[in-house]
Amino acid sequence: MPTRKHQKKPSRSHRSTLSLQKTEILIHIYDLLPPGRISTVLWHMGTSLLHSGVVINGKEYAYGGHDRRGLTGVYWTKPRTEPPGGTFRCEYLHGFTLAPQAEVDAIIREASEEFLGTGYNLLTRNCNHFTSYLCERLTGEPAPGFLNRAASIGLALPCVVPREWIEVPDFDAADGAALDEDEEGYDSERARMLRSSGDQPRLVGQEDRDTGTEWDSEEERERGGNGKGKGKAPVRDSAGRMLPPAERAPIS
């Protein structure tokens, strides 16, 4: 009688039993130009003024400017929260990351240390530069180039492009009349943003800290303040251009 051969059971790998999970990396894109024919044409041409945020695990990360030295300009809020003066345009699936959550959190913290609020510049270091940086760190691929096409044009041809492409107007009212920033105030703009989302924008790494603005000197207060309370002044980028409300990081 033939002997029965022993069948060797397939050996199980001793590697981690945790299955790799892909995390979506989404880009939310907002148009900073008032709705109308011009913004529609520029959008389809890929040359509109855009704001963007990176959505990771239910949080949308973006970058804005402020006058507080040493403080990050990277913040997060509820996805699809329209910034003051911005209109949601589309969601773009950029890719996936296999990095565990701890590694993703570490990358975001590193990005927040790299992108300080005082380093913000509308043309050379804006929210779309941050989006591209974070996407590349997470997926190996930068964000699509059309996000910053308007900034690239403004940088290459500063004497040709319209002034409003470089110094973006704050926003328009529904009837097309510009609202006075001093009359409305930054707090009112923030209130409109929060009412629409129910989720307060928070600086990365500052969620459990007091981030109220304190000026280091009277000179800094006068440069960053408008006489109506600390931190309520028009915020300017590193080149002195006034930032639109959509590009201001929350610091209070």
Residue 9 pLDDT: 53
Token digits for 93? Answer: 């699936």
Of residues 248, 188, 250, 244, the one with CA closest to residue 34: 244
The span from the CA of 90 to the CA of 95, in Å, is 15
Q: Which CATH architecture has domain 23-165?
A: Alpha-Beta Complex (3.90)
Question: Model pTM?
Answer: 0.71
Token digits for 91? Answer: 């969601």
Residue 240 pLDDT: 85
The span from the CA of 206 to the CA of 43, in Å, is 35
CA angle 81, 91, 193 (to 5 degrees): 10
The residues carrying an active-site annotation are: 51, 127
First vs last C-alpha separation in the chain: 86
Residue by residue, pLDDT tens for the chain (252 residues) are 555 555 555 444 444 444 568 999 999 999 888 888 877 777 777 667 889 999 999 999 999 999 999 999 999 999 999 988 888 989 999 999 999 999 999 999 999 999 999 999 988 899 999 999 999 999 999 999 888 887 766 555 555 555 555 555 544 433 334 334 443 444 444 444 444 444 678 999 876 554 444 434 444 433 444 334 444 567 888 888 888 888 999 886
The span from the CA of 22 to the CA of 137, in Å, is 15
Residue 194 pLDDT: 41
Backbone phi, psi, residue 140, to 5°: 90, -5
Please identify which residue in the block is written with the tokens 């060797």.
8
Of residues 243, 24, 30, 247, the one with CA closest to residue 147: 30
Contact 48, 113 (CB under 8 A): no
Residue 232 pLDDT: 55
The span from the CA of 13 to the CA of 79, in Å, is 39
Could you tell me the maximum CA-CA distance found in the chain, to the nearest angstrom?
102
Contact 91, 27 (CB under 8 A): yes
The span from the CA of 42 to the CA of 220, in Å, is 38
Contact 230, 215 (CB under 8 A): yes
Contact 85, 178 (CB under 8 A): no
Of residues 232, 226, 240, the one with CA closest to residue 118: 240
Neighbouring residues of 90: CB distance < 8 A, sequence distance ≥ 6: 28, 29
Strand 202-203 versus strand 50-56 pairing type: unpaired
Backbone phi, psi, residue 242, to 5°: -70, 130
Please identify which residue in the block is written with the tokens 């929060």.
194
Token digits for 206? Answer: 């500052």
- Residue 27's H or E segment, with its range, is strand 23-31
Residue 52 pLDDT: 95
